[in-house]
Amino acid sequence: MDALKAALLRGAFRLASLLPVRLLGGLGAGLGRLAFYLDARHRRISIRNLTRVYPDRSRAWRTRTARESFAELGRTMLELPHVFMKSREYLLAHVSVEGEDHMRAALAENKGVFLAACHHGNWELGALMFSLLGFDIEFFYRPLRQPVAEAFVRERRERFGATLHARQDPLRWLVRALKGRTLIGLMIDQHIGDGMPVPFLGHMANTLTLPAAMVRKYDAPLVGVALHRIGRGFKFRLDIWTIERPDMALSEQAFVYKLTRDIGKSFEPAINLRPEMWLWSHQRWKLLEEHNKDITGVVYGTP
């Protein structure tokens, strides 16, 4: 039965990839906008997050930005047949790269390189780009709960040479990667229950400290990456930048705090440029929501 399900899933993606990507993207955006009106919970989360970060913008702007963030998520999801099934040449033809010299300079240190990313634009294509470009890369990821879908998605994500590691896996692979010229990719923009509170877009949020702690321990270089959608079509620009390491003379706690904060801060220009490209429906500031206030103590109600 699982083999049949797997064949049907692969066949559906193969057939969908024969449709024009702009058609799929447009359909996905429309479904995303519909979901904005149907999914009251995530609509409220999105608008609440936008109110926190952009209190001076109008209510209409925040509502429109939240709706377009849903549209971007829908567009990204329905572009997956092309991302997962099309050739290396096809995908590379749709993405320009800026800042690749930052990546190569980091790799020149002959150590593993942490690659920090966020849920911005079509992050599935963004994650594929590094194996497409010929870099050795290994990722942290969260497995899907459905075994057939998990096996298919993982195989598609690894098809150009990337290696995925579930978050709960032992970290022996990470130590090995840090001793070689391997990229180590992970998302840094989600709430982490036991993370360190640092400012993100101006407000305290529990944040993953693993990259900062490993950079401190192994003196490993660190780069940030963001995939920018050009207009609304299937054209992108991949930006890569260096994230400077703090002074190693700092205490371990001060080093980890400063670098964790700086990693998040380095993404602010990309998010502020086109806020609708970021995933606002995630409870990024759950830490503050639990106390019903922002960093300055201002109480937030439900917009």
- Report the C-alpha gap between 169 and 139 in whole angstroms: 12
**What three-state secondary structure class fits 112?**
coil
Q: Tell me: the pLDDT tens digits for 230-281?
A: 999 999 999 999 999 999 999 999 999 999 999 999 999 999 999 999 999 9
Average pLDDT of the residues in 55-60: 96
- Report the C-alpha gap between 46 and 72 in whole angstroms: 13
Q: Band of the pLDDT at 290, cuts 50, 70, 90?
A: confident
Average pLDDT, the chain: 92
Per the CB < 8 A criterion, the answer to whether 244 and 262 are in contact is yes
Q: Tell me: the pLDDT tens digits for 86-121?
A: 999 999 999 999 999 999 999 999 999 999 999 999
Q: Provide the residue ranges of all domains of the chain, joining segments of one domain with +.
A: 2-289
Per the CB < 8 A criterion, the answer to whether 74 and 9 are in contact is no
pTM for the model stands at 0.91
Lowest mean pLDDT among 135-139, 156-160, 169-173: 169-173
Lowest mean pLDDT among 23-37, 63-77, 158-172, 247-261: 158-172
Beta strands 113-117 and 163-166: pairing type? unpaired
Q: Band of the pLDDT at 168, cuts 50, 70, 90?
A: confident
Closest CA to 264 of 194, 211, 193, 185: 211
pLDDT of residue 1: 76
